[in-house]
């Protein structure tokens, strides 16, 4: 990063782009606004690619349930797929990113791109070694566990234990390429490049769809088909990693990994990761335990239903929470490293307000349209109408936790940026006990609906606890501004939900099940959704919502 002075303003070149800051380092100066706008543009790029990925993901899920139905094959695949993804969120997207971004940002700031290259090479080498140890250890442990231990207490086909273990053997190595891809994506985000990292999930979904189509064309049985899909998905993970190479070249960070355990940046990352890993491990243990309880307390196909509910929930979650959190974290980290907590609180409030302003209508829209989403997207082939109704119930319960999920993405990153790593850990430990208690109590009675309830309760409780512990640092004015945002969003959401419900009910009756999907999808889902968006924007404008202006500025 090159720096020079001109007219009292510091100019920085990072990732080929100029940034300005005040002479005194205070980032709220108007001269600093290009940096804020860059994060806004980054969030929009991430959101755009995330939208493409989520659409492809829904297509992929439709193909999967059409081929396998609500059976043990889809349930076993969903459960096996959860395991590497839990470790991915733990290492690749959570602790590693939170620890790595500040280190690389500081290295670029102090030594330029050459210093960053040396640091990045050591970090990549250390992560690769760690991943090989973890995956190798898990595979060895998996081979030692008796296959009978994988049997469901709720009954099911005797082939289920062996199928589940085979899928775990295939999908566990996915952790290696996806974690390295996430590290490469974080490095590109620091240098202001967001497109290729955000496009990686879309590539995986395209490969996955091709794999399902391929598996469905042969004469193989259901077990062989789902194993073939698992192999294709593993190959897609490595293609995701290869996609990042051009972005690393443009960033000047394409390096040959080196194993340098004494590297100071690597050691700092390990020290920083330790408490974050503890906190995230508790959160991810909740996710993994919920899926296993679904298989062993409900039935072997239940993890598939929870998976589909989560997939519908992830659509707005990724567009809002993940996109905003990923894009704003480097800026929060920079402000935290300068001890500029006043500006950090301002940026956080703006981002949190915008996220929650959109989260409430998104949750309401998902709640209203869940029956038609499940019916149009998933009720096909071997996936019955009864399974679609079960998916609707799960989705509606889960979407009640959407505002909490989006808020947690931002609030947890604010704690990390300010160097407070313990608070999210303590909250996660408390919620582990609460959520799993709800699971054990409700799963035998309510089935998948009880497990979905625990997810919603946990998400909102996490957000509330983080917010109230962070509020003293935000200041009372910031808290009051958020309350106003929530009120305006709720008032604008009421007519939005009414319009969407009326249209989807009317059009759903005019184009019932059996109508061509090419006709039914845009008319029954897209038209009511678009009408709901327009209604929300018009109502919010009439209410004088300042958040609309904030969102427009983020596009510039």
Q: What are the residue ranges in the chain where pLDDT is below 50?
A: 1-35
The number of C-alpha atoms within 13 Å of 466 and in the hemisphere containing its C-beta is 28
- DSSP summary character for residue 543: T
**Residue 276 and residue 255: Cα distance in Å, rounded?**
27
pLDDT at position 7: 34
Pairing status of strand 17-21 against strand 9-14: antiparallel
The token duo for 541 is 């404008």
- DSSP summary character for residue 31: G
Question: If you search the block for the tokens 């890993």, which residue do you land on?
Answer: 277
| C-alpha 337, offset from chain centre | 25
pLDDT at position 39: 55
Do 405 and 462 touch, CB atoms closer than 8 A? no
Nearest Cα to 49, choosing from 240, 245, 201? Answer: 201
Residue 394 neighbours by CB under 8 Å, 6+ apart: 305, 306, 308, 309, 448, 449, 451, 452
Phi, then psi, of 380 in degrees rounded to 5: -160, 155
What is the value of pTM for the model shown? 0.79
pLDDT at position 449: 94
pLDDT at position 186: 86
83-136 pLDDT, tens digit each? 888 877 776 556 677 778 888 888 888 888 888 888 888 889 988 998 999 999
322-371 pLDDT, tens digit each? 667 767 777 777 787 777 778 888 888 888 888 888 899 999 999 999 99
């Amino acid at each position: 990063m090159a720096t020079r002075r001109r007219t009292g303003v510091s100019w920085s070149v990072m990732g080929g782009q100029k940034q300005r800051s005040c002479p005194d380092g205070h980032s709220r100066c108007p001269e600093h606004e290009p940096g804020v706008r860059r994060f806004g543009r980054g969030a929009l790029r991430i959101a755009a690619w995330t939208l493409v990925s989520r659409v492809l993901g829904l297509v992929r899920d439709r193909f999967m349930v059409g081929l396998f139905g609500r059976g043990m094959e889809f349930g076993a695949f969903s459960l096996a797929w959860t395991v590497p993804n839990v470790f991915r969120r733990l290492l690749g997207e959570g602790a590693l990113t939170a620890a790595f971004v500040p280190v690389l940002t500081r290295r670029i700031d102090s030594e330029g791109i050459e210093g960053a290259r040396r640091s990045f090479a050591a970090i990549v080498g250390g992560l690769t070694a760690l991943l090989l140890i973890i995956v190798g250890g898990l595979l060895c442990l998996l081979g030692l566990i008796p296959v009978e231990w994988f049997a469901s207490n709720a009954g099911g086909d005797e082939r289920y234990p062996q199928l589940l273990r085979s899928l775990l053997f295939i999908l566990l190595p996915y952790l290696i390429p996806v974690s390295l891809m996430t590290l490469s994506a974080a490095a590109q985000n620091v240098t202001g490049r967001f497109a290729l990292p955000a496009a990686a999930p879309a590539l995986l979904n395209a490969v996955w769809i091709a794999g399902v189509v391929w598996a469905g064309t042969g004469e193989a049985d259901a077990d062989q088909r789902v194993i073939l899909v698992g192999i294709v998905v593993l190959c897609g993970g490595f293609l995701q990693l290869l996609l990042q190479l051009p972005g690393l070249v443009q960033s000047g960070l394409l390096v040959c990994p080196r194993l340098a355990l004494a590297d100071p940046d690597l050691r700092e990352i390990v020290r920083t990761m330790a408490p974050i890993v503890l906190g995230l491990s508790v959160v991810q243990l909740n996710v993994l335990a919920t899926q296993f309880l679904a298989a062993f307390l409900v039935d072997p196909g239940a993890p598939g239903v929870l998976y589909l509910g989560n997939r519908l929930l992830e659509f707005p979650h990724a567009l809002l929470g993940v996109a905003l959190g990923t894009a704003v974290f480097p800026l929060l980290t920079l402000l935290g490293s300068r001890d500029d907590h006043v500006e950090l609180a301002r940026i956080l409030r703006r981002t949190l307000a915008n996220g929650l302003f959109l989260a409430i209508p998104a949750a309401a829209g998902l709640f209203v349209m869940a029956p038609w989403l499940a019916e149009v997207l998933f009720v096909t082939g071997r996936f019955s109408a009864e399974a679609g109704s079960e998916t609707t119930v799960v989705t509606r319960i889960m979407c009640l936790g959407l505002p909490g999920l989006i808020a947690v993405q931002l609030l947890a990153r604010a704690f990390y940026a300010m160097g407070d790593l313990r608070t999210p850990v303590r909250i996660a430990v408390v919620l582990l006990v609460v959520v799993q208690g709800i699971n054990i109590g409700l799963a035998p009675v309510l089935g998948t609906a009880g497990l979905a309830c625990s997810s919603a309760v946990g998400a909102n409780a996490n957000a509330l606890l983080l917010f109230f512990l962070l509020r003293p640092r935000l200041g009372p004015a910031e808290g009051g501004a958020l309350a106003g945002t929530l009120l305006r969003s709720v008032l604008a959401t009421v007519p939005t939900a009414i319009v969407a419900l009326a249209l989807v009910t009317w059009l759903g009756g005019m184009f019932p099940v059996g109508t061509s999907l090419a006709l039914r999808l845009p008319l029954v889902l897209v038209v009511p959704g678009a009408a709901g968006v327009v209604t929300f924007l018009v109502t919010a404008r009439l209410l004088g919502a300042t958040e609309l202006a904030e969102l427009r500025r983020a596009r510039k």
